[in-house]
Amino acid sequence: MIAALILRDVRRGLTGPAWLPIAFFLLVATLVPFAIGPDARLLARIGSGALWIAALTAALLPIERLVEPDRADGVLDQLALHDLAEESVAFAKIAAHWLTFAPLLLVAAIPASALLAMDGAALARAEIALAIGTPALAALAVAVAAVTAGLPRAGSLAGLLLLPLAVPLLIFAVANALLLEAAVSLLLTAGAPFVAGAAIRAART
């Protein structure tokens, strides 16, 4: 059942607007050279930080469609009746969201790095940092989506919840402290299914 749920969410993500956060990511990366001018050395210096800000804002976009539609439609209830723990549902949603979000983001980082005048070595470092960080971004997105499911103005509330929690990830990733980033990523990814599961249970009426 977990595998079926992951497959279903991946299919829904890919047939739906999976490209939207990626287009948003590229757009933000495009804005940076316009905002600070075409100085290649300055761009290269801030490049990885700009990539991460673009990635964090892009991670906010899909939050509203991750949990709320399934809650409102009774899918989460039926899954519970099929003896699937809410934590397992949350894990499946994190895995499916990561699969539709991370690979596209890593590909989109290549043209984005060109826009930011980053060289090959800087791109490689940024790709590794993004690869380590994206599971945590997906996990945070699902946890925040579950916490805000059913609330009015959930979208703006989700941004206020997610961005502060992603700050440690951002700090270690941009400082190229990959082991510390991996530790934070592991913590967030491992904890998120429990937060999301409890939130799904609490939201039941």
By CB under 8 A, name the binding residues for another protein: 1, 4, 8, 12, 15, 73-75, 77-78, 80-82, 204
Report, in Å, the least distance between residue 6 CB and another protein.
12
* Dihedral angle, C-alpha 34, 35, 39, 44, nearest 10 °: -100
The residue (of 15 and 156) whose beta carbon lies closer to another protein is: 15
Report, in Å, the least distance between residue 81 CB and another protein.
6
The residue (of 1 and 167) whose beta carbon lies closer to another protein is: 1
The residue (of 72 and 107) whose beta carbon lies closer to another protein is: 72
Report, in Å, the least distance between residue 149 CB and another protein.
14
Q: How far apart are CA 12 and CA 65, in angstroms?
A: 10
The residue (of 9 and 181) whose beta carbon lies closer to another protein is: 9
The residue (of 12 and 45) whose beta carbon lies closer to another protein is: 12
Cβ partners under 8 Å of residue 144, min gap 6? 63, 158, 161, 162, 165
Q: How far apart are CA 200 and CA 202, in angstroms?
A: 6
Report, in Å, the least distance between residue 145 CB and another protein.
18
Cβ partners under 8 Å of residue 116, min gap 6? 29, 32, 33, 43, 44, 46, 47, 50, 51
Report, in Å, the least distance between residue 138 CB and another protein.
21
- Please, are residues 53 and 27 in contact by the beta-carbon 8 Å criterion? no
